[in-house]
Chains A and B, each alone.
Chain A
Amino acid sequence: MQEVELSDILTAREDGDYIVNIGPQHPSTHGVMRFVVSLKGEMLEYVIPHCGYIHRGIEKMCERMTYPQIIHLTDRMDYLSAHMNNEAVSLLVEKATGVEVPERVKYIRTILSELQRIASHQLWWAAFGMDMGGLTCFFYGLRDREHILDIFEESFGSRLLHSYVCPGGLMGDIHPNFQKRTKEFIKYFRKKLPEYDQLLTGNVIFEQRTKGMGIMSKADAISFGATGPVGRGSNFACDIRKKFPYSAYDKVDFKEILYTEGDSWARYKVRVDEMWESMKIIEQLIDNIPEGDYSAKMKPVIKLPEGEYSQRVETAKGDLGVFVVSKGEKYPYRMHFRTPNFNNLFVISQLCAGNKIADLIAISGSLDLVIPDIDR
């Protein structure tokens, strides 16, 4: 396996290399991502990912926006984990200004994070099945995701980009039907999730395509910084909900899913098991939401005291970190997001070398990349 040097990242290694460009427009790269792939017959020699096609300058834009205004930008980074992104910035602001949010807010934020995690994994399952060639998986995953999106739409008004969790609490109270709908959804999804196993997980074709493919050792996972299901599939215990609990995670009882094989199959199983665990977490919280305010009293203009602050949150893809340098004004001086997809992407050059093209698609599907998160 060849090591990829930074200097030759744009040109073919030798003249005889058969270079194929996959992307930026491609049905299965899940966004605008370009893979420069060098082939020998069907075998891949090296894969170089080129990102940056959807770079919008979010971190720079944050430098001239107040903290409540930053929330709607973070929605659009990893749009499948919108709540968790919002929660990261909100928790950071609350920690820095020393505001204590009501218990009700903590419970609701946790329930929303877990619902969002299930929705993100449903879409991942749908897209993964489609990349493998089983096109019906796409429709089943999306059909079940519609229920969660209906829950969101009833309470916040929008399905994908909510901008709901804000510094101080929430933008408004949840709808009275929220608890009933969530409980109905959990009952419905508990019956449907075994169907996913019947259709894809237990399938012999699928097993042979994912078992033993793209093995990543634990040392590699740690050195690349691959967190989330990618890291936990390689036995790297990196769940922020367990290590640095926030919101109501210290009050619930759930397992951290770890698999030791480190191949695509392990990463797949981690996500499916995480869906079961999320349902367990929601069930523990949904009936016990304490009454109270939906927001703490914040000043109209939020100014963070001078200094550096950071906050980590577990999104559906991994460990999202927010870092703010504040000069005491209402705008941050510098805001940086450490996104999980960025680190998860670059393991691909290591995992794919020596496999076939079909495996490139399978492995990148098991990494669950959302490209806007990489480029911000």
Chain B
Amino acid sequence: MEMTWIWAIAASFAGAVLSSLGMGGGGIMLIYLTVVIGMDQLSAQGVNLVFFVPVALVAIALHAKNRLIQWKIVLPSVILGLIGVYFGAKLATFIGSEVLSKLFGVFLLIIGVRELAAKDMEKNAEKTK
């Protein structure tokens, strides 16, 4: 039981650090919830969404203080995003946990390759800052 707690705290901490850096920490939490503790994909996704809210609130407050957020882009993205959310969530329910888990694996595969390959672009972006 103690080990479970340690892993839960470690995973949520690591997930939150990456989340608050805008680097897909949700991926870490989902992996922990599904692969490590064996939660089904849809439950894990729901838990991750709830988990993300306080994490993002804290991080956004700090980023806003550091003037890192470009608010002008936020509003139109959110409005369109809500439409996307609606269809995405319906689709997830329709597909079901089993297939969704495989789809998520494919998504991670694509993102993982990109994260490893995109380092030059990142360097250029840092230079032009």
- A and B: interacting chains: no
Task: Give B contacts to A, CB under 8 Å.
Answer: none
Task: Give A contacts to B, CB under 8 Å.
Answer: none
